[in-house]
Amino acid sequence: MSEKTEDNGEISPFSVAVIESVIENLKCVSIRGRMAYLICSFEELLQYYKCRKEEWGWILEKLWSYTKIQYLDDWMYELAEYMPNSILEDTSLEDAEYITENRFNGLHKLYNNANKEILYFIMLIYECGTCELYSKLCGRSSGTLEKAAKAIDILERHKIDVIDITPFKIYSFDECDGWGSRFEGKTLSKMIRT
């Protein structure tokens, strides 16, 4: 496995076996299930960095909405405005359709003070949910598996326990052409509950 990561180039050699095992198990999990897995993993990363759920709860709610929304492209367009690169690089809300000025300012402050790996992980989640949105899924959606591998590597490099895949296997890749049936993902969350 020679995948590149944002910070140092190669996936850590000690992580390869763990990553390969998780990715092999994720192949039978729908994309909605993979998203739930990555969001749960993101919550582990937030806890590792001692981030407060009060600060991150709103963005977590938005991420979790992926598992239950009917039209995934609606999620993609809305979340694009909340992503770190949009918030930290944009200086104007002129073209914004979803984000308010107060929300923009709050996210700007939150992201400005966040560890870069947290911001990268958010982008990996977003990319996992959108990278194959307008294409036919091939190879059990190798694009989403690649994003998951990069996210898992972040956990491994910090010696954060990788989440058990077993509870996510009920979200079968065989449902809804690989995308999976809708479900309330927040029931899996450690940081927010329904």
Whether residue 39 contacts residue 168, with contact meaning beta carbons closer than 8 Å, is answered with no
Q: Is 64 within the bounds of a domain?
A: yes
Residue 6, SS3 per DSSP: coil
Cα dihedral 92/96/98/104 (nearest 10): -10
Give per-residue pLDDT as tens, 87-113: 999 877 888 999 999 999 999 999 999
Total domains, the chain: 1
Q: Is 194 within the bounds of a domain?
A: no
Question: pLDDT category, 16, cuts 50, 70, 90?
Answer: confident
Q: Is 1 within the bounds of a domain?
A: no
Provide the residue type at 93 as one letter: L
Domain extent for 122 = 12-188
Q: What is the mean pLDDT of the chain?
A: 91
Q: Is 19 within the bounds of a domain?
A: yes
Q: Is 2 within the bounds of a domain?
A: no
Check whether 80 has a pLDDT greater than 60.
yes
Q: Is 84 within the bounds of a domain?
A: yes
User: How far is it, in rounded angstroms, from Cα 150 to Cα 97?
Assistant: 30
Q: Is 4 within the bounds of a domain?
A: no
Q: Is 7 within the bounds of a domain?
A: no
Give per-residue pLDDT as tens, 33-71: 999 999 999 999 999 999 999 999 999 999 999 999 999
